[in-house]
């Protein structure tokens, strides 16, 4: 089965050996995504809601590369450094997924890769068909 990758061009992708997203057939997996800009600077330090919103926009761009959108998301995983932030992170998630309602997990973790990061989100999506991959 053909495999296609999507990269944001972040310097650490080849260093660590990962892709922002991978599509195999009609399945798309989006890697753990944080709220950083193209230079790797953390956006919205101290604001878990805005970080989550930015992350979900980044995930949406990765899905769009493969011809998918948020309605194709079947599962999300949210890693948060303070579980007390769940209402704000949940609000951002709910604004995007209220009608879609993917399976979702939110767990507290000790820390993320940068001390100003408060949340990291992964997503899986399934397209109803398997057209040729972009190119």
pLDDT tens per residue, range 93-110? 999 999 999 999 999 999
Three-state secondary structure readout of the chain = CCEEEECCCCCHHHHHCCCCEEEECCEEEEEEECCECCCCCECCCCCHHHHHHHHHHHHHHHHHHCCCCHHHEEEEEEEECCHHHHHHHHHHHHHHHCCCCCEEEEEECCCCCCCCCCEEEEEEEECCCCCCCCC
Task: Specify the pTM.
Answer: 0.92
If one compares 94 and 130, the residue with the highest pLDDT of the two is: 94
Domain boundaries, the chain: 3-126
Q: Is the pLDDT of residue 126 over 90?
A: yes
CATH superfamily, domain 3-126, is RutC-like (3.30.1330.40)
User: Each residue of 39-65: pLDDT tens digit?
Assistant: 889 999 999 999 999 999 999 999 999
């Amino acid at each position: 089965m053909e495999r296609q990758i999507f990269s944001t061009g972040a310097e650490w992708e080849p260093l660590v050996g990962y892709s922002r997203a991978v599509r195999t057939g009609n399945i798309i997996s989006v890697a753990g995504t944080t709220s950083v800009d193209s230079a790797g600077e953390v956006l919205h330090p101290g604001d878990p809601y805005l970080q989550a919103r930015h992350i979900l926009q980044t995930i949406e761009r990765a899905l769009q590369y493969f011809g998918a959108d948020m309605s194709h998301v079947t599962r999300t995983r949210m890693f948060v450094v303070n579980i007390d932030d769940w209402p704000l992170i949940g609000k951002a998630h709910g604004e995007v997924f209220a009608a879609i309602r993917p399976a979702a997990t939110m767990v507290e973790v000790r820390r993320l890769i940068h001390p100003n990061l408060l949340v990291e989100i992964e997503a899986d999506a399934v397209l109803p068909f398997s057209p040729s991959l972009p190119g």
